[in-house]
């Protein structure tokens, strides 16, 4: 059994709109039962292969980085200055201010990022790995275009390049939509990851 992060940039193990009063231990037990139960169900139906096809393709995907607007950057620097002077500013105001300034300092002179994308074939199983927290729609799109009998989409591998939301996610703004250090990629980045993944998987299936 391998525990891997999937395309989970916009999903949670609990209902965020109807949170129940549960302790951390109760939440952990509930999730554990789900994972163990599904693992044992699948384990009983394993079909072993002694000589599966093994293939791999790789591509460094270059994408643009979104930078914060001038007004946002000025306000963010003012907030961080007030914090340095001792003002008690916490929570999202502090986080978003830091994210904006850090993004500008890191990528301001060269607003591009590299996303390593891998396409792997193990028998009938297709695996895609990429370094973002992809929104779940992109994971579904990759599976839809995969030639494999089963497809696994793995996130936060070979580096970490932050959240990768859909266009609708970007329009919503906030922690996983606004241009901050961990949500910095161009609006088309996720769609380019899907396209790159499909190309790589079709290459490994063509061999």
Report, as an integer, the average pLDDT of 189-194: 98
Rounded CA-CA distance 6/19 in Å is 23
Based on the fold, state whether residues 167 and 75 are members of the same structural domain: no
Could you read off the pLDDT of 156-178 as tens digits, one per residue? 999 999 999 999 999 988 888 89
Residue 28, domain member (yes or no): no
How far apart CA 92 and CA 98 sit, in angstroms, is 10
207, HSE (Cβ side, Cα atoms, 13 Å): 15
Q: What is the pLDDT of residue 47?
A: 86
Q: Which domain holds residue 180?
A: 53-64+111-206
Q: Is the pLDDT of residue 153 over 90?
A: yes
CB 127 within 8 A of CB 179: no
In this structure, are 76 and 171 located in the same domain?
A: no
According to the per-residue pLDDT averaged within each range, which of 4-13, 26-35, 146-155 is highest? Answer: 146-155
Q: Pull the structure tokens for residue 166.
A: 């859909």
User: Within this chain, do residues 200 and 142 fall inside the same structural domain, yes or no?
Assistant: yes
Q: Could you tell me if residue 47 is inside a domain?
A: no
Q: What are phi and psi of 145, to 5 degrees?
A: -95, 0
Task: Mark whether 200 and 139 lie in a shared domain.
Answer: yes
- How many Å separate Cα 200 from the centre of its chain? 19
Q: Are residues 103 and 168 both part of a single domain?
A: no
* 21 lies in some domain: no
The reply to whether 176 falls in a domain is yes
Domain count, the chain: 2
Residues 85 and 183 placed together within one structural domain of the fold: no
Of 122 and 23, which is predicted with more confidence? 122
Helices (H) and strands (E) in the chain, counts: 6, 6
Residue 158 is assigned to a structural domain of this protein = yes
pLDDT at 83: 96
Kindly indicate the confidence band of residue 66, based on its pLDDT and cuts at 50, 70 and 90: very high
Across all residues in the chain, what is the average pLDDT? 94
Q: Are residues 95 and 123 in the same domain?
A: no
Which 3 state secondary structure label does DSSP give 43?
helix
- The reply to whether 194 and 126 lie within a common domain is yes
In a domain, 117, yes or no: yes
Instruction: Work out the average pLDDT over 74-78.
Output: 97
Question: Both 130 and 183 in a single domain?
Answer: yes
Same domain? For 161 and 190 the reply is yes
């Amino acid at each position: 059994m391998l525990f891997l992060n999937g395309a989970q940039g916009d999903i949670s193990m609990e209902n965020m709109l109807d949170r129940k009063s549960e302790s951390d231990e109760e939440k952990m037990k509930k999730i554990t039962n789900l994972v163990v139960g599904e693992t044992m169900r699948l384990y009983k139906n394993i079909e072993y292969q002694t000589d599966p096809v093994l293939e791999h393709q790789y591509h460094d995907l270059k994408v643009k980085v979104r930078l914060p607007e001038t007004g946002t950057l000025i306000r963010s620097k003012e907030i961080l200055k007030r914090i340095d002077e001792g003002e008690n500013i916490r929570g999202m105001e502090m986080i978003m201010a830091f994210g904006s300034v850090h993004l500008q300092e890191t990528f301001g002179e060269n607003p591009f990022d590299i996303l390593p994308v891998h396409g792997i074939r193990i028998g009938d199983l297709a695996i895609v790995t990429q370094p973002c927290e992809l929104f779940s729609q992109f994971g579904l799109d990759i599976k839809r275009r995969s030639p494999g009998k089963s497809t696994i989409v793995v996130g936060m591998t070979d580096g970490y390049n932050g959240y990768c939301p859909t266009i609708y996610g970007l329009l919503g703004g906030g922690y996983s939509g606004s241009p901050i250090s961990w949500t910095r990629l161009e609006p088309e980045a996720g769609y380019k990851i899907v396209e790159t993944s499909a190309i790589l998987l079709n290459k490994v299936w063509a061999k």
